[in-house]
Amino acid sequence: MERFFLVLAGVNGCLGVLLGAFGAHGLRNSLASLPDGARRLEVWETAARYQLVHALALGLIVTLLPRFTASALPIAGYLFQAGILLFSGSLYIVAFTGARGFGAITPFGGLCFLAGWVSVVVAALKDS
């Protein structure tokens, strides 16, 4: 299980850096001419930031799995990954396409992030 979450951490970290750089260098010029371009770029940057933070959170799960027996810890990892897909993924789509309807998905990703962090706390309290 550690290997699985380590792969997810690495893939998400790499994609977060690539997509963040794309937003800063490639997308910035394309969006600059649009009336809502600055806002869309800000949305893109938020997506990349949350993806990178939660890639590190997946790395945290990898380091904690051998030390804790609580099943809440793998659940946290799955929730972090779901949050990345739903939260960051929907924001990337909104920023890139301007299709605001995908923004309705974003809060579900945020809830996954929150539930993941609560699961980390539960794992720590169960094993104490």
Domain ranges of the chain: 2-126
Kindly give, in sequence order, each residue whose CB lies less than 8 Å from that of residue 14, ignoring residues fewer than 6 positions away.
Answer: none
Yes or no: say if 76 and 62 are a contact pair by the CB < 8 Å rule.
no
Kindly give, in sequence order, each residue whose CB lies less than 8 Å from that of residue 27, ignoring residues fewer than 6 positions away.
Answer: 41, 44, 95, 96
pLDDT in tens, the chain (128 residues): 889 999 999 999 999 999 999 999 988 888 878 889 899 999 999 999 999 999 999 999 999 999 888 799 999 999 999 999 999 999 999 999 999 899 999 999 999 999 999 999 999 998 76
The enclosing H or E element of 8 equals helix 2-21
CA distances from 83 to 30, 57, 103, 113 (A): 27, 11, 14, 5
- The owner of tokens 């706390």 is 121
At residue 6, the pLDDT reads 96
